[in-house]
Amino acid sequence: MAQYAVPLVLLFIASALTSVVTTGAVKRIAEEVGAIDRPNERKFHAVETPRMGGLAIIFGFGFPLMLLAANDHAAELVSKNLTYLFAVLASGSLIVGLGVYDDLLGSDAPKKFIVQTAAAIILVSFGFQFSSISIAGFTLRLGILGSVVSVIWIVGVINAVNFIDGIDSLATLVSITIAVAFGVIAIIRHDVFSLVIMTALTGSLIGFYRWNRPPAKIFMGDTGSLFIGLLLAACSIARPIKSPTALIVGGPMLALALPVLDTLIVMKQRFGAESAIGARVARMFNADRRHFHHILVEKYGSITKAILSIWFITLLFAVAAVLTVIEELRNAGYCVGVAGFLAMLFLRYWFRRHAVSPPVERQA
């Protein structure tokens, strides 16, 4: 891995700088075409804010990767991972198209689900999939069900990242933390492909954070959150060698625990209300204020405190994910993961900052 150190550092710097510069240009374009996020009862920003910042994230991610291809080690890496790269390019193109369409014109849940599923099927068909489930030393072969489970996981992660994008910089910070954890895991596993992808993504997100930190000058929009979700989902099940990939409770999946668990909890709550089964299923995809960040903002009366709390829990899960891939530290990793889970439950269900909900700090 040492021979990739200099190219990776250059990739990180180039991704961050490219993202910082292009975000300003994307902001002006979004304002001109009317891609504006307007305040409403579900949102915490107080002024109209351009979206489509995800285009800058994508450009910051992709453009330096093309430049890196001139490096001999990078060219060697590309030749060994053409299948994976093609899968990410093809599925990513679908997701970016969906995100741009949604940011400009708006898209309903069924259309999003169809495109996301198509993107997931592309990834799975090119090798991003589980072949077995491994829990406490017991392994269950999935067979054809492995492909189905993999598609469900990928679509789920894409939506989980999308749903957590509800407060200035929240999705950016959470994604940076998860991407760094994935990068460390890639180093431990000697997975150069995932390491390169996560290095470029981390640099691009850090560059974008300059514009997205509170009060945000631009939002990533669905263009960004869906694309980030796709990359994280893909790298969470990428395999560094040609061997069966097991779905293990730990590793990269643990790093994604907060957005995934939040999505599952919210969908269960939406489905549980009394009504016809069709209406209950449809309601699972309706926007409301049940997500973790909505709850914490109401409890704290402070967007900043809500962001810091969610970031801290994400950090716990990220540390747990790294520890669980080191055999000697696996039990410690599970303990840290349990601590993150308990902290999430405590803040969501039991923690009460104020007896009466205070006025919410608005983002100007």
Domain residue limits, the chain: 2-248
User: How far is the C-alpha of 196 from the C-alpha of 241, rounded, in Å?
Assistant: 16
- Could you tell me the pTM of the whole model? 0.87
CB 22 within 8 A of CB 180: no
Structure token digits, residue 12: 């990180």
Q: Look over the chain and give the mean of its residue pLDDT values, rounded to a whole number.
A: 83
Which one, of 190, 208, 197, lies nearest residue 234 by Cα?
A: 197
pLDDT at 249: 47
pLDDT bin (cut points 50, 70, 90) of residue 98 is very high
pLDDT over 70 (residue 182): yes
Q: Which residues face 247 on adjacent strands?
A: 133
In terms of DSSP H, where are the helices of the chain? 5-33, 54-68, 72-80, 82-104, 109-125, 145-163, 170-189, 192-212, 221-236, 252-255, 257-272, 277-283, 292-300, 303-324, 330-345
Percent of the chain with pLDDT over 70: 79
DSSP state, residue 270 = H
Mean pLDDT along residues 63-76: 72
The angle formed by the CA atoms of residues 14, 23 and 49, to the nearest 5 degrees, is: 155
* Spatial distance between the Cα atoms of 338 and 344, rounded to a whole number of angstroms: 10
For the cut 50, the answer to whether the pLDDT of residue 190 exceeds it is yes
What pLDDT does residue 167 have? 86
Q: How much is the average pLDDT of 100-119?
A: 89
pLDDT, average across residues 235-254:
62
Taking 70 as the threshold, does the pLDDT of residue 153 lie above it? Answer: yes
Q: What is the pLDDT of residue 237?
A: 84
Residue 244 has pLDDT above 50, yes or no: no
Report the pLDDT value the prediction gives residue 356, as an integer from 0 to 100: 41
Instruction: Report the percent of the chain where pLDDT is more than 90.
Output: 41
> What are 278-330's pLDDT values in tens digits?
665 666 566 666 788 888 988 888 888 999 999 999 999 999 999 988 889 98
